[in-house]
Amino acid sequence: MTTPTLTRYVWDDRIKVGLPLIDSQHRELIEAINDLADAIESHQGAVAVKKLIAFLKGYAEWHFGQEESCAFRHQCPLAETNQKAHARFLAMLNEWHREYTESGGSEEQARRIHAALGDWLVDHIYKIDTMLAQEIRQAQSSQS
Ligand SMILES: [Fe+2]
């Protein structure tokens, strides 16, 4: 049986939120998730995979913080929903990172983490961030 090719996630208009800073951070995250796929498929090993997961954890946490403070500053109705979704995701990501590290890291596990990360992010951007960004833009235009 051949191993299926990992998904490469694409940043496109469907998940564009229209706020340049947030969009560029989302692109960065998607790129890092694709880098993880490259590392897994080119068999770079558990140390390289762990490093990429750790980077993703740090970057996601930083990005979420940026997005959350922007949403609260603009008193967005979705600010809290977004924050809770981020917190749940970070808790999951920490758990996966811990499991991966403690078990020595199998390729199968890395593949599952990659898919879960990418699927969650794209779905979250599509379902929450696009609407949140709309609220931010509305608040910005009513201020000016
Ligand atoms: Fe978000």
| 27: CATH | 1.20.120.50
pLDDT digits (tens, 9 = 90+) for 39-52: 999 999 999 999 99
Tell me, what's the pLDDT at 144?
Answer: 72
Average pLDDT over residues 94-103: 95
Tell me, what's the pLDDT at 1?
Answer: 66
Q: How far is CA 81 from CA 33, 100, 112, in A?
A: 24, 29, 26
Q: Specify if 4 maps to a domain.
A: no
Query: What is the domain count for the chain?
Result: 1
Q: Specify if 27 maps to a domain.
A: yes
pLDDT exceeds cutoff 90 at 53: yes
pTM: 0.95
Cα of 42 vs centre of ligand 1, distance in Å, is 31
Which tokens sit at 133?
């960004």
Q: Specify if 15 maps to a domain.
A: no
Q: Supply the range of the domain harboring residue 52.
A: 20-143
pLDDT exceeds cutoff 90 at 6: yes
Cα of 22 vs centre of ligand 1, distance in Å, is 9
